[in-house]
Every structure is written in structure tokens, then in C-alpha cells.
Chains A and B, each alone.
Chain A
Amino acid sequence: MLGDAQKAREVFEATLRAATERAGESEAPVDRFWLYREARGRCLEASEQSLQAEDVDLPEEELSPTALDQLAQIDADQLAIWISAAPEPQRTALALFYLDEFTHRELLKIAELKTAELGPLLSSARRQLQAWLNTILPVEDAS
């Protein structure tokens, strides 16, 4: 979500510290997704202090049959930076969705979204990602 390993580490440690403090006070969180919500909240706080993504309409393109080849050619860090540059709540939706650790309902709870909001966010993000892939790896180069 942050696109910065150092910041991510600070958020991670701060979240764990908060969890340890709560556990020490015998204050078990009622919400079983507390850790994820806490981490997300801290990520949002941390990203407010850094450069903000410009509010522009990114180009969108249909998913290409060559998308898998294009994805195979990019670096994981590049993708992480691309996701971190997405506006909220699309960034949260992408980060949680592609972690591939949550069920649909869990994801809605953690991201505090509804299906009607999440669907367009993901659909649009896929098309924007495809457009970005097409830009950095034009089809003729990818093939």
C-alpha cells in the first residue's frame, strides 16, 4: 500500500506494538480483523505525509490475451509502486484483493466497502493496469 519498504516496516512494527500493548492489557479485540484494519489505518496515515497521487483519469484498456506475458516481464516492486499510487479506496481494495488471503466478505469488512463499490474499483483497476502494462511493455515488444 505504501510502495516504500522502510515506511511499510515502520507501519508493520507500529501495528505489532499496538497489538502487543492490547494483548498485555488483556484487551482482546472483538473484531478479528482488527490487525488488518489497524495496519490499513496506519498506512493511510503514513501515506498522507508523503507525495500524493494526482487525481487524474488513468487510461483503461481491455484485458489483453498477452497480459500474462506482460506481467511476467515486470518486477514485483514495480507492481507494488503502481498499486501504492492508486487513489483510495482503490489502493486498499487492490492491496487486499491481490494478497489473496481473504474471502469476499472478509475483504468487504476490512476495506469497509460494499460489493457495489468494490466491483467497479477492481474492474477499473484491472483495465488501468492493462493500460499501464501496454505502455511500459508495448504488445509488439511483449510478444
Chain B
Amino acid sequence: MKPVRLSQRERLLVHCAPARAERIDDRAMRAAVFRAAKSDEFVRQQQFDRAVAALVHAVPIPPETAHWFSSEALIARPKWTWKRAAKNPAVVAVGIACLVIAGVFIIQFIEHLHDFPGSSRARRLLSVANSSRSVLLDPVRTDAGALGDLFFMKHNLEHYEVPPPFAEFQTLGCRVFDDEEAGRAAQIWVTEKRMQFFLFPAERDPKTGTAPDFADWRFVEQEGWSGAVQQQHGVLFMAAIRGDRQLLAPYLNTPKE
């Protein structure tokens, strides 16, 4: 074997090289050992170290000490308790995440608890009511109940009738427009508490193609507006008012939550 020239750093690493290659966990040391492996000096060092290590392992261990090593349960694992688990940051983080997810689900559930076919369209039209200005509507001063004929004659909208509890309110204006979500809708502005009425097609069941009517009043809320909705002849009527749904209660024959 030829003598190998090593740098000072490599020589230091070679001096520290464990006798077994698998104990080398340092890339620089591995490289230094690889280079030094060709030298007699290093081979002798490794043999020497292995022999000394074997001798160290042969140092007798007193039997009273040795028995400690034979027991697997030398130190009992600490008992698992809820208190300990609750202090674990990972458990705390998962717990908080679960609470937040559960909270979101509960809010979603409560929001949609009173949903009915057409409620999403009704909410959409409450947003329209919130952003509407009276100047957008054609000025019409008459009873709200009289506009059904106008919608039928002018726009060919059948059954776009304002129901009796609201039929006698004086109108300020009305318009018919196409909404992406709600379809062809009629909007009526009345003087009474600046309420707005909407008439729009009912949501049909995609399987049966039917839209069962309901005579009771159902409620939706969106952006600080409340709406009372009723469906007759496949057309939904919504009375919308800014504020709480209780404001609509006096006008409804059979208020129902």
C-alpha cells in the first residue's frame, strides 16, 4: 500500500473514525476514511481500535448491574391520561381545528335549517333589493294587486300576482328583469315602509319537473334584509323589507317560523 497524503482536516477526521463504517455519519469523515483506507497506517489504526473495542466489551459487568438490562420494563412508561393528552400541543391544535370545523358546520346547518325550494333565488333577490334604487323602476302608481294584469298583458308573465295581504299597497314603480339565478323576475316598490315585492318562477324539482306550491309564509334573510315568501301556481312571491323579519309579521295572515 502507498502512503496517502491527507490534509490536516482529513487527518483529524481519520483519527476520530469509528472502527465500524456504519458509525460514520459525517460526509467529510466518510470521504477522508475512503482516502485513508489505502494506507497501512489507517488499516493498523482500525484493527487496533476494533481490538480495543472488543476488549472494552469484554469488561465484566457485575451480575447485580447486568440484571437491570435484562428487564425490558426498566422504566415504566408514564400512564396515559386525558390531562396529559390535553396538554399536548398537537392535540390542542387538532381540537381547535375540530371545533372551528364543527362551528362552521353548525352555522351552515342553522342557516339552511329553514331552507325551502327557491330560497337561494329569494336570497339572491334580497341582494337585488339591497342594491336597487327607485329610479331604476318604471313609475307606476296603483294598487300592487293590479300589477298582475300588467305583467300578463305586457310581459306575458302568467300568475305573477301579488297575494291579498299585500295587494292593496300603493306602488311607486315596478320593472321586469332577467336575473341569472332567479330567472325572469318582477320587482315592485311600494310606499308602505319602502317594501319591495318580487315575483319569480319557482324552482322545479330536476327529477319530477314539479314545483309544489306552499301557502304558508317562509322566511329568508340576507344582507340585513328579510323576506317572506309564498308560492302559488308555480310562482314565488316575496315581500322584502330592510330589517328583522318581525317587521313583516303584521302583514302576514299566518306568520310561521
Write the residues of chain A forming the contact surface with B, with a CB cutoff of 8 angstroms. Answer: 5, 8-9, 12-13, 16, 19-20, 23-24, 26, 63, 65, 67-68, 71-72, 74, 76-77, 79-80, 83, 97-100, 102-107, 115-116, 118-120, 122-123, 126, 129-130
Contact = CB atoms under 8 A, between A and B. Distances in A.
A79 B26 contact: no
Nearest to A28: B78
B120 to A, nearest CB: 53
Contacts of A107: 16, 18
B65 interface: yes
Q: A19, A24, A119 — which one has the most chain B CB atoms within 10 A of its CB?
A: A119
Nearest to A129: B52
B193 interface: no
Interface string B58-97: 1110101100100000111010000010000000000000
Given A71-B52, A104-B23, 8 more contacts: A16-B68, A23-B75, A63-B41, A76-B60, A79-B59, A80-B56, A100-B19, A119-B14
Nearest to B76: A23
Contacts of B68: 12, 16
Q: B11, B13, B52 — which one has the most chain A CB atoms within 10 A of its CB?
A: B52
Nearest to A118: B16
Interface in B30-71: 41, 44-45, 47-49, 51-53, 55-60, 62, 64-65, 68
Nearest to B58: A76
A80 to B, nearest CB: 5
B207 interface: no
16 contacts: A9-B62, A9-B64, A9-B65, A12-B65, A16-B74, A20-B75, A24-B78, A63-B48, A100-B20, A102-B18, A103-B24, A118-B16, A119-B11, A119-B14, A120-B12, A126-B45
B65 to A, nearest CB: 5
Given A104-B18, A118-B16, A79 B23 contact: no
Given A119-B15, A120-B15, A98 B65 contact: no
A52 B18 CA distance: 29
B25 interface: yes
Instruction: Give me the 9 closest cross-chain CB pairs, A-B, nearest first.
Output: A119-B12, A119-B15, A103-B25, A76-B58, A100-B53, A123-B15, A98-B56, A71-B51, A76-B59
Contact of A76 (B26, B47, B55): B55
B12 A115 contact: yes
A67 B47 CA distance: 9
Nearest to A5: B62
Contacts of B75: 16, 19-20, 23
B48 A67 contact: yes
B16 A119 contact: yes
Given A79-B59, A80-B56, A104-B26, A26 B78 contact: yes
B26 A116 contact: no
A80 B59 contact: yes
B89 to A, nearest CB: 14
B29 interface: yes
Contacts of B51: 67-68, 71-72
Contacts of B14: 119
A91 to B, nearest CB: 13
A83 B52 CA distance: 11
Nearest to B57: A100
Interface string B216-257: 000000000000000000000000000000000000000000
